[in-house]
Amino acid sequence: MLVRRYSIFVAILVLCVLSLVLSFVGSGAWLFLFCILFPLAWIGVFDVIQKQHSLLRNYPVVASVRWVFEAARPYLRQYIVESDLEGTPFNRQERSLVYARAKREEDRQPFGTELRTNAPDYEWMTHSLAPMPVSEEPFRVRVGQDCAKPYDAAVLNVSAMSFGSLGRNAIEALNLGARKGGFYHDTGEGGLSPYHRIHGGDIVWQVASGYFGCRNRDGTFSPERFAEKAADPQVKMIEVKLSQGAKPGHGGVLPAAKVTKEISEIRGIPMGEDCISPARHPAFATPAQMMDFVARLRELSGGKPVGLKMCVGHPSEVFAIVKGMLHTGIHPDFIVVDGAEGGTGAAPEELTDHMGMPLREGLVLMRNALVGSGMRSRVRLAASGKVTSGFSMAANMAIGADWCNAARAFMFSLGCVMSMRCHTGQCPTGITTNDPHLQRGLVVEDKAERVANFQRQTVIALAELVAAAGLEHPSDLAPHHVWHRMTPVEARPLDQVYPFLPVGALLDAPDETPYAAEWAAADPDSFLPRAAVGPRRAA
């Protein structure tokens, strides 16, 4: 058995020595063979003497080949093994559509759909026999109707991605693309950097629990610093981040070693200390206090719209937020629902895979909370999570969204190849890295045009879907316009798949809704439920 395990290694050693000897008396071919075998022999010696990997010690050289294939496996699967409809989190068909639209290449499809129309989870829109003309005007959504400085948002915008997670060239390209295309660029929680502002695109400034760019030395919120930056005319809206889809309920730490002078200045944090992002906001502790904080930010910003971003978790907390609005008479101007399928540069696998509500369930719940409490007419609703096409936008809008945000799709428009190395700082396309040599490959002017192209072509596709359904605006879409296949022989419109409450149902007859227990437990003065929701676990 020992001979079998080491036979290849021993053979390489013998042939290596033999070829070296013969190279002195024979032809140059023996020297060439030695040059090939010597690295393999060296690898085998290293495998035998190292102590970290038992497989390498027991099977020198052979086990090293396994490591090579394991490292190459993601790329082999993506480019050779997987079909166009396989691959996660985005398949080749979804990515190719973004690439084509970003480059203004052919995006039409011949010979019919490749999707299995009788497979469970297949979805389609119903069309009209009296379609409308396709709108030539870009759709806009007025946000902050009661604000001094309302904003007309596009229906597809760049979702939150921070400088630091993305390199400066990527941030610049996104913002320049947003300016060219007339849509907004969300800063992410990392602060308002010079690279967000250099090209003049519309900005939504995200204020998260670390209050980066508007914090005091001890990490608390600084009204003075916030007011100074919020006054920038490029900042159109303020977004208070409560949680993120890919890692809801999870804080973060940027180690002191990674806090560069530039990041220190942008985030307003000291050099030589860990940068802490708390899991919850220090500025408020209850839904009612949150509404007071929203009103304070609106006043400090000079009347700009202020909204919330969250991945939906406990339903009782969503209803507590709504009760906070009713209790205080204050409401956010918009709420962005981030789905649990949303992306991140890095997160614990358990949170990414199993924490938080997926976008559709979260969006329906938030829609019902606002409609059922009579607040929907005052609060705009946005959806964020795996938006790549006009249909993904239309489906979100049919169940309640006023507009959509996308992050990874815009990364694809920048040239992302889904190498899954975002957390390593070694992104091969120069997007999620601060390495200047890798960033050099991302040319801002070229990629900005692709960003604008993708957004424009996707909104045009949405307009075509809306017109084919016999409608004039995406706001006319309703749940019954989208059908979902339950089984190979059964399909239903979305209004028969999910509950959709009528206006005021939670105020007039909450016990007749599916949310009776959660609504009763919701408290405007606490995120904790005031009563038990569901049965208790047995002792």
Would the pLDDT of 24 be above 70? yes
| pLDDT band at 43; cut points 50, 70, 90 | confident
**Prior bond to 315 cis, omega within 30?**
no
Whole-number pLDDT of residue 253 = 63
Q: What is the pLDDT of residue 273?
A: 75
Tokens of 445: 């002017």
* Residue 111 reports pLDDT greater than 90: no
pLDDT at 247: 80
Q: For residues 320 and 328, give the distance between their C-alpha atoms in angstroms, rounded to a whole number.
A: 12
- What is the Cα–Cα distance from 409 to 415, expressed in whole angstroms? 10
Q: Sorting pLDDT into bands at 50, 70 and 90, what band is 255?
A: low
**What is the pLDDT at residue 1?**
59
- pLDDT at position 257: 64
Higher-pLDDT residue of 25, 350 = 350
In angstroms, the Cα distances linking 274 to 140, 192, 269, 282, 444 are: 41, 20, 9, 18, 31
What is the pLDDT at residue 13?
Answer: 86
Q: What is the pLDDT of residue 59?
A: 80
> Per-domain residue ranges for the chain?
1-81, 147-461+494-506+509-521
Residues 181-224: tens digit of each pLDDT: 999 999 998 889 999 999 999 999 999 999 998 999 888 999 99
Quick one: pLDDT at residue 368? 98
Average predicted confidence (pLDDT) for the chain: 90
Q: Looking at the predicted structure, is the pLDDT value of residue 149 above 70?
A: yes
The residue ranges of DSSP E strands in 139-285, in sequence order, are 140-143, 151-154, 156-158, 185-186, 203-207, 235-241, 252-254, 275-277
Residue 220 CA to residue 516 CA, distance in Å, equals 37
Q: At 332, is the pLDDT very low, low, confident or very high (cuts 50, 70, 90)?
A: very high
Query: Locate tokens 């890095």: which residue?
Result: 346
Per-residue pLDDT at 192: 92
Tell me, what's the pLDDT at 336?
Answer: 98
**Helical packing angle, 390-398 and 444-468, nearest 10°:** 50
Residue 242 has pLDDT above 80, yes or no: yes
Instruction: Answer yes or no: is pLDDT of 349 > 70.
Output: yes
Q: How far apart are CA 295 and CA 312, in angstroms?
A: 22
CA distance 404 to 383: 5
CATH 3.90.550.10 fits 147-461+494-506+509-521, yes or no: no
Q: At residue 346, does pLDDT exceed 80?
A: no
Mean pLDDT of 262-273: 80
- Give me the residue label for tokens 């629990």: 209
Residue 449 pLDDT > 80, yes or no?
A: yes
- What is the percent of the chain where pLDDT is above 70? 96
Pick from 340-354, 448-462, 499-513: least confident: 340-354
Residue 419: predicted pLDDT: 83
Question: Which residue has better confidence, 149 or 21?
Answer: 149
Q: Categorize the per-residue pLDDT at 54 as very low, low, confident or very high, splitting at 50, 70 and 90.
A: confident
Q: How far is CA 294 from CA 129, 207, 298, 331, 405, in A?
A: 46, 11, 6, 8, 21
Residue 446 vs residue 9, higher pLDDT? 446
Residue 201: which residues within 8 A CB-CB, separation 6 or more? 174, 175, 176, 177, 178, 179, 184, 185, 234
Residue 539 binned pLDDT confidence (cut-offs 50, 70, 90) = low
The two three-digit tokens of residue 416, written as one number: 């992302």
Q: What is the mean pLDDT of residues 10-26?
A: 84
Separation of alpha carbons 539 and 527, rounded Å: 25
- Residue-level pLDDT at 258: 63
| Mean pLDDT calculated for residue range 301-322 | 97
Write out the two tokens for 237: 């809206």
Amino acid at 497: V
Residue-level pLDDT at 104: 93
Residue 267 near residue 300 (C-beta atoms within 8 A): no
Task: Give the pLDDT of residue 22.
Answer: 84
Q: Average of pLDDT values for 14-18?
A: 87
Q: What is d(CA 81, CA 503) in angstroms, rounded to the nearest whole number?
A: 50
pLDDT of residue 239: 98
Label each residue of 237-267 as H, E or C.
EEEEECCCCCCCCCCEEECHHHCCHHHHHHH
55-71 confidence digits (pLDDT tens): 778 888 888 877 777 77
Q: Model-level pTM greater than 0.85?
A: yes
